[in-house]
Amino acid sequence: MNKPFVLTVEDDTSIRNLITTTLKTNDYRYKSAMNGKEAIMEVSTYNPDIVLLDLGLPDMDGVEVIRDIRSWSNLPIIVISARSEDCDKIEALDAGADDYLTKPFSVEELLARLRATQRRLFFMSTEMLSSKSVFENGKLRVDYAGGCATLDGQELHLTPIEFKLLCLLSKNVGKVLTHQYITQNVWGRSLENHQASLRVFMATLRKKLEPDEDSPEYIQTHIGVGYRMVRVD
């Protein structure tokens, strides 16, 4: 199988070099852009498999780049942000980014995020082909049409909100969902008290889903950002 084609958008030369060297030594195909306009042009010209996008670009806001790309393409976008840009990171995820890396990041983290995105792409394509109404992940099985879920063959007794949360997370497996995205999709809008409700429902869902609460297998918490369901082998 061909290694994916990755477009790196980063104006900082040393970080861009670190990324492209990593891609090169790991047999990825790659290209890079130094600003937002160049990024949009390269995405439409070369149709990469994954975009690594710095949020602080010289000519335009990285979030604007995401909105532009999202208006015509679903390709995975991993944003790269500095810790001081936490709000931008959340805005980027809400605008349609799939995942994020926070500077400074290690080569291992970069490769792990790329592998996770590749896995997500692979499962998305196979699930789309079979248009399954049942989702399976490790010992978890979610029957969307039947409105029920099992863990290791045992039925999970979920409330309607917990089931809705589980469906939303599983349909976006591998992707970080922000608090605002989740509350909007579960309750139809995002209110201050829904964020508190979300924490409560997430805690009760996890109690039922994760046999070992101290080392959760299925749902990751991204403090200050949101939640992600991970692919369990």
Determine if 68 is a binding residue for Ca ion (CB under 5 A): no
Determine if 60 is a binding residue for Ca ion (CB under 5 A): no
If the CB atoms of residues 4 and 56 are measured against Ca ion, the closer one turns out to be: 56
Closest distance to Ca ion from the beta carbon of 92 (Å) = 13
If the CB atoms of residues 11 and 86 are measured against Ca ion, the closer one turns out to be: 11
Q: Of 37-45, 46-54, 63-71, 128-136, which segment contacts Ca ion by CB under 5 A?
A: 46-54
Of the residues 42, 54, 88, 91, which one makes contact with Ca ion according to CB under 5 A? 54
CB distance 192 to 199 below 8 Å:
no
Closest distance to Ca ion from the beta carbon of 178 (Å) = 22
**Interatomic CA distance for residues 52 and 10, integer angstroms:** 8
Determine if 56 is a binding residue for Ca ion (CB under 5 A): yes
Q: Of 28-36, 48-56, 188-196, 218-226, which segment contacts Ca ion by CB under 5 A?
A: 48-56
CB distance 111 to 105 below 8 Å:
no
Q: Of 9-17, 25-33, 43-51, 141-149, which segment contacts Ca ion by CB under 5 A?
A: 9-17
Q: Of 8-16, 22-30, 83-91, 178-186, which segment contacts Ca ion by CB under 5 A?
A: 8-16
**Interatomic CA distance for residues 84 and 103, integer angstroms:** 10
Closest distance to Ca ion from the beta carbon of 15 (Å) = 8
Q: What mask, x for binding Ca ion by CB under 5 A, covers residues 161 to 180?
A: --------------------
Determine if 4 is a binding residue for Ca ion (CB under 5 A): no
CB distance 161 to 144 below 8 Å:
no
**Interatomic CA distance for residues 183 and 199, integer angstroms:** 10
**Interatomic CA distance for residues 28 and 41, integer angstroms:** 21
Closest distance to Ca ion from the beta carbon of 11 (Å) = 5
For residues 32-62, b (16+ Cβ closer than 10 Å) or e, as one string?
Answer: bbbbbebbbebbeeeebbbbbbbbbbeeebb
**Interatomic CA distance for residues 109 and 129, integer angstroms:** 30
Determine if 61 is a binding residue for Ca ion (CB under 5 A): no
Of the residues 3, 4, 5, 11, which one makes contact with Ca ion according to CB under 5 A? 11
CB distance 95 to 64 below 8 Å:
no
Identify the bridge partners of residue 183 per DSSP, sorted by sequence position: none
Identify the bridge partners of residue 229 per DSSP, sorted by sequence position: 219
Residues of this chain that bind Ca ion (CB under 5 A): 11, 54, 56
